[in-house]
């Protein structure tokens, strides 16, 4: 398995992310990605072609206090 092909696969899986903060390929078949979505932050771990874990942290956009 080529490392580049998995990196490209992982990038496609995260194509819905507005801003990709981290896409770290730990080995030839394992990667972790952290990105920002519309209303939150998510962390995704992928092994080969399977997603191992998806953690989404939602937050409120309006942080003003009056």
Residue 33 lies in a domain: yes
From first to last of the 66 residues of the chain, give the pLDDT tens digit. Answer: 444 555 566 566 555 555 555 555 666 666 677 766 666 666 666 666 555 555 555 554 444 554
Q: Give me the pLDDT at residue 16, please.
A: 53
Contact criterion met (CB below 8 Å) for 9 and 17: no
Q: Give me the pLDDT at residue 23, please.
A: 59
Q: Give me the pLDDT at residue 20, please.
A: 54
Residue 39 lies in a domain: yes
Residue 64 lies in a domain: no
Residue 63 lies in a domain: no
Total domains in the fold of the chain: 1
Rounded CA separation 43/22 (Å) = 9
Q: Tell if the pTM clears 0.85, that is, is over it.
A: no
Q: Give me the pLDDT at residue 29, please.
A: 62
Structural domain range at position 43:
3-58
Residue that the structure tokens 């390929």 belong to:
25
């Amino acid at each position: 398995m080529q490392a580049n092909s998995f990196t490209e696969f992982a990038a496609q899986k995260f194509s819905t992310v507005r801003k990709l903060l981290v896409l770290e390929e730990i080995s030839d078949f394992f990667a972790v990605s952290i990105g920002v979505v519309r209303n939150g932050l998510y962390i995704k771990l992928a092994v080969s072609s399977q997603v191992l874990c998806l953690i989404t942290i939602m937050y409120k956009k309006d942080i003003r206090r009056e």
